[in-house]
Amino acid sequence: PFTIASSAHLGLWTEFTIRHSGDFTSELRRLQPGSPVWVDGPHGAFTLDLRRCTGLVMIAGGVGITPMMSMLRTLAHRRDRRPHRLVVVARTLDELLFRAELSQLQQKLDLTVIELLRQPPPSWTGASGAVDEDLLTALLPGTFRRNQLDYYLCGPPAMVTDVLTVLDGLDVPQPRIHTEQFDLV
């Protein structure tokens, strides 16, 4: 329930986003900044490969935004100029993370952010429901070559599975899709 959120270019410290879900993560919350910790990893292969893509489409559900933030911070540090698109899915407005920083990153990158709420309040004027073909088609108009973009999906298993079905319907090549599922074992 925790993920590295810092840029790859910040070698002196590492920032984590932690979902508090039990005794261990509750203890982490009590640590003071600068406290020594033992870290094993990182594990997994959910990393950027910018050599072959013309831009990124990131779809994050809940705390699945965390690795996306690490990637976006790294891209901003590198002054990347490719187009990047981010769909942030949350149940409620209160569960949308990193909103202020994403606004700042939009000033540094060619970054479009869509916030999608599953349970929007009556006053919500943004996107709602699920990630579907209509949403992605609007996000990626005809000027984008969808088969040359890389797609990063991270979030609850059901959301990732649903988005994979949508991407298949849009004929996105499988090698262009990278997934990470957040699920407690």
Enter the CATH code of domain 2-181: 3.40.50.80
pLDDT at 105: 98
- Residue spans per domain, the chain: 2-181
| 25-29, 78-82, 87-91, 97-101, range with the lowest pLDDT | 25-29
Q: Is 135 exposed, middle or buried (0-12, 13-18, 19+ CB in 10 A)?
A: middle
15 contacts: CB under 8 Å, gap ≥ 6: 4, 5, 6
pLDDT at 2: 58
Question: pLDDT digits over 24-68, tens only?
Answer: 777 777 888 888 877 766 666 788 888 888 899 999 999 899 999
In this prediction, residue 34 carries a pLDDT of: 81
pLDDT digits (tens, 9 = 90+) for 118-147: 999 999 999 999 999 999 999 987 767 888
Q: Which amino acid is at 170?
A: L
Instruction: Give the pLDDT band (50/70/90) at residue 14.
Output: low
| DSSP code string of the chain | -EEE-S-TT--S---EEE---SHHHHHHHHPPTT---------S-----TTS-S-EEEEEEGGGHHHHHHHHHHHHHTT--SEEEEEEEESSGGG--SHHHHHHHHHHSEEEEEEEESS--TT--SEES---HHHHHHHS-TTS-GGGSEEEEEE-HHHHHHHHHHHHHTT--GGGEEEEE----
Work out whether the CA dihedral 146, 147, 152, 157 comes out positive or negative: positive
- Structure-token match 């489409």, residue found: 57
